[in-house]
C-alpha cells in the first residue's frame, strides 16, 4: 500500500534527522554518529525510492482519471463504425453520407480495467459547410487533451488529399500525442502505396475491419501499448494517483537532494538539518504528522542516551 511505503520513507528520513540532531545536541555523549559517507549512501537510496514512486504518477493518474482516446480521419473512413466496434454496441450514427458526424461523439468503454473516454470526431477535410468546418476545428482542439489518437485511413485506397492533411496533423502533434495509425476496411484489400506512405511515419500501424471485427483485438493491444509505452510499472507495484501526493513527494525529493549536495560540500550539521526537516515537512503534507516529537522519540528509541 502507498501509505506503508510513505511511512517507511518517513522513518528513514527521521533517522537521518535524528543522527544530525545527536551530532548537534549531544556532541559530548559517547555516541557514534553516522559518518557522512554512509549518510550520503542512505540519502541516495531514499531519493531513489521516492523517484520510483514519482515515476508511477502518470500511470496512476490514468488509473484514477481514465484516458482520452481520439478517433481522427476523413469523412466516411469508418470512424463511427470503429467507435461502435470498440464499444461492441451502436453509439455513433453510421452512414454512407460524408460529414454525418459534424461535431463529436463521446462514449465510455473499459480496456482491461482502464476507463477510456472515446471521442469520435468530425471528418478531417476542407469544407465550405460552416457547421462541418466548426466540427473539424473542434476535432483538432480535442488533440490538446488526448492521451492516444487513432488516425484512420482506408486500407484499400491510395492516400488522398484529406488523408495527407491528416498526416500533416500527425506530424505537428506527434510530440505531444501518442498516435496509432489504423487502416480500416481491410476486408476490401490493402493499398501497397498507402502502407508505404504510412510506414514512413514510424508509428504503430494496425489493419482492421470495423465491419467484420477483424483486427480489433490487435488494435486494443496497440492502444494499451501506447498508453503504457513509457511505463515500467510492475503489476503489483504501489502507484501514486493524487496530484497532491505528487507535489508533496516532489518537495521531499528536492529537499533531500539539497541535503545530499550539502553532504558533498561538507556543509555544517545545521544546514543539513534544515534540508532534512524541509523534506519531512513536505512529506507531512501526505502523512499529516509533525516532526519535533517524532525526532526525539526516534533518538531515545534507537540510541542509549543517559545510560
Which tens digit of pLDDT belongs to each residue from 147-185?
A: 999 999 999 999 998 899 899 889 988 888 899 999 999
User: CA 141, CA 240: separation in Å to the nearest integer?
Assistant: 29
For residue 287, the model assigns a pLDDT of 86
User: CA 5, CA 118: separation in Å to the nearest integer?
Assistant: 34
Q: Which CATH number fits domain 2-56+239-302: 3.20.20.70, 1.10.8.100, 3.40.190.10, 1.20.120.430?
A: 1.20.120.430
pTM of the model: 0.63
User: CA 40, CA 265: separation in Å to the nearest integer?
Assistant: 11
Q: Nearest-CA neighbor of 77 among 188, 232, 229, 233?
A: 188
For residue 270, the model assigns a pLDDT of 85
Percentage of the chain modeled with pLDDT above 90: 43
pLDDT band, residue 102 (cuts 50/70/90): very low
Query: Can you tell me the mean pLDDT for 276-303?
Result: 71
Q: Nearest-CA neighbor of 52 among 115, 112, 8?
A: 8
Per-range mean pLDDT, top range of 104-108, 126-130, 173-177, 187-191: 187-191
Query: Can you tell me the mean pLDDT for 284-289?
Result: 85
Same fold, 2-56+239-302 and 62-227: no
Q: Thinking of the domain 62-227, which architecture would CATH place it in?
A: 3-Layer(aba) Sandwich (3.40)
pLDDT band, residue 130 (cuts 50/70/90): very low
Query: Can you tell me the mean pLDDT for 50-63?
Result: 87
Q: The dihedral of CA 226, 231, 235, 239: what is its sign?
A: negative
User: CA 25, CA 214: separation in Å to the nearest integer?
Assistant: 73
Segments making up each domain of the chain, as ranges: 2-56+239-302, 62-227
Query: Can you tell me the mean pLDDT for 184-210?
Result: 95
User: CA 236, CA 227: separation in Å to the nearest integer?
Assistant: 18
Query: Can you tell me the mean pLDDT for 31-35?
Result: 62
Query: Can you tell me the mean pLDDT for 85-113?
Result: 63
Pairing of strands 67-73, 104-111: unpaired
* Number of Cβ atoms within 10 Å of the Cβ of 27: 10
* Number of Cβ atoms within 10 Å of the Cβ of 142: 19
- Facing residues of 181 across strands? 151, 205
Contacts of 32 (CB under 8 A, 6+ apart): none
- Of 116 and 28, more confident: 116
Amino acid at each position: 500500500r502507498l501509505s506503508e511505503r510513505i511511512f517507511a520513507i518517513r522513518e528513514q528520513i527521521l533517522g537521518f534527522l535524528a543522527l544530525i540532531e545527536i551530532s548537534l545536541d549531544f556532541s559530548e555523549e559517547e555516541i557514534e554518529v553516522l559518518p557522512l559517507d554512509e549518510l550520503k549512501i542512505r540519502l541516495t537510496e531514499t531519493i531513489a525510492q521516492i523517484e520510483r514512486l514519482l515515476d508511477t504518477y502518470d500511470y496512476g493518474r490514468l488509473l484514477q482519471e481514465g484516458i482520452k482516446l481520439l478517433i481522427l480521419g476523413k469523412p466516411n473512413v469508418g470512424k463511427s463504425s470503429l467507435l461502435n466496434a470498440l464499444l461492441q454496441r451502436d453509439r455513433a450514427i453510421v452512414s454512407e453520407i460524408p460529414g454525418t458526424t459534424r461535431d463529436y461523439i463521446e462514449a465510455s468503454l473499459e480496456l482491461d480495467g482502464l476507463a477510456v473516454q472515446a471521442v469520435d470526431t468530425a471528418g478531417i477535410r476542407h469544407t465550405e459547410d460552416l457547421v462541418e468546418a466548426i466540427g473539424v476545428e473542434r476535432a483538432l482542439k480535442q488533440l490538446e487533451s488526448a492521451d492516444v489518437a487513432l488516425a484512420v485511413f482506408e486500407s484499400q485506397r491510395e492516400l488522398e488529399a484529406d488523408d495527407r492533411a491528416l498526416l500533416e496533423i500527425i506530424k505537428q502533434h506527434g510530440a505531444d500525442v501518442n498516435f496509432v495509425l489504423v487502416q480500416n476496411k481491410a476486408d476490401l484489400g490493402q493499398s501497397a502505396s498507402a502502407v508505404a506512405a504510412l510506414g514512413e511515419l514510424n508509428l504503430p500501424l494496425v489493419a482492421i475491419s470495423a465491419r467484420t471485427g477483424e483486427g480489433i483485438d490487435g488494435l486494443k493491444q496497440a492502444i494499451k501499448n501506447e498508453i503504457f509505452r513509457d511505463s515500467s510499472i510492475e503489476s503489483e507495484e504501489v502507484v501514486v494517483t493524487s496530484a497532491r501526493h505528487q507535489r508533496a513527494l516532489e518537495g521531499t525529493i528536492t529537499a533531500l537532494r539539497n541535503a545530499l549536495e550539502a553532504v558533498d560540500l561538507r556543509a555544517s550539521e545545521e544546514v543539513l538539518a534544515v534540508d532534512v526537516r524541509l523534506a519531512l515537512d513536505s512529506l507531512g503534507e501526505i502523512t499529516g504528522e509533525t516532526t519535533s516529537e517524532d525526532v526525539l522519540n526516534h533518538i531515545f528509541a534507537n540510541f542509549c542516551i543517559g545510560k
